[in-house]
Amino acid sequence: MTAASSQSAFLHFLALLLAASLLASGCAAPVLQSPPPEARNLPAWTMPDWALPGLAPEAWKPPLQIPATPPRRTVRLLEPSVANQEDSGDPLQIEPPPLYPEFSLEPSPEELIGKILDDTGLQVMQAALEQMGAPYASGGSSPKGFDCSGLVHYAYSQIGLDVPRSSQELYKIADKVDMTELQPGDLVFFRIYRRRISHVGIFVGEDRFVHAPSRGKRVSISSLEEPYWSRHLVGAGRLR
């Protein structure tokens, strides 16, 4: 026997007991009402109103059902341009914060200058590397022959810049650069004779530089890690 049928039988028993009591006292027996269909699935502890004498079935109402979860409310996000307008009601209107901060696709002056310097250094380096194998010539600054400062002067002239013709003057006007921050196109300076700057090369990356070494040799690449060059290295500079 199910819980519902047990409940129905128990309630009928109570109604019959009440009717018998009323008959014994001389009162008219009430008309027993059948439970409405909605009451079939009520839990056993619920006492419906129709069990009371004289209450018509149509007056019966099922107990209030509390939903397990609160009802959802639709939220509609508005564009900032219309979010400040007067709200006429539902749905709830919320003004969203800006998704992206203001920014510009245009480079800043610092970024632009850095890019120009990078491009200049690469062009200078390329111009010098194109002269690989050219003979050394004292006082030379053309593909027919170069000395060290002549190669630097020639490389800068290929991009329209006029720079000093001696390694000593180049060292004076160059902005000093830490050896850990060297970029292609920077100049590396050496002190070979006495106490003055007497040699210059163009940095090409990976601790190497291109230069016109000395009489009887040709434009070539050497390493800053070679004992001879590391011993005479003074520092580095950048022409702006």
CATH number, domain containing residue 170: 3.90.1720.10
Q: 137 lies in which domain range?
A: 109-238
> Is 50 found in the same domain as 113?
no
Q: Which of 12, 27, 148, 232 is catalytic?
A: 148
Cα distance between residue 13 and residue 86, in whole Å: 64
Determine what percent of the chain is predicted with pLDDT higher than 90: 48
Is 199 known to be catalytic?
A: yes
What is the spatial distance between Cα 222 and Cα 210, in angstroms, rounded to a whole number?
6
Instruction: Give the pLDDT score at 178.
Output: 96
Q: In the prediction, which pLDDT does 194 show?
A: 78
What is the distance between the alpha carbons of residues 16 and 144, in angstroms, rounded to a whole number?
A: 131
Q: Are residues 144 and 227 in the same domain?
A: yes
Mean pLDDT score, 174-189? 96
Residue 99 lies in a domain: no
27 is annotated as an active-site residue: no
Residue whose structure tokens are 């003074």: 234
Same domain, 126 and 207: yes
Q: What average pLDDT does range 93-97 have in this prediction?
A: 57
Instruction: Check whether 202 has a pLDDT greater than 90.
Output: yes
Q: How far apart are the C-alpha atoms of 159 and 144, rounded to whole Å? A: 19
> Into how many domains does the chain fold?
2
**Same domain (yes/no): 52, 160:** no
Asked if 153 is an active-site residue, the reply is no
Q: 125 and 38, same structural domain?
A: no
Q: Whose structure tokens read 């990078």?
A: 118
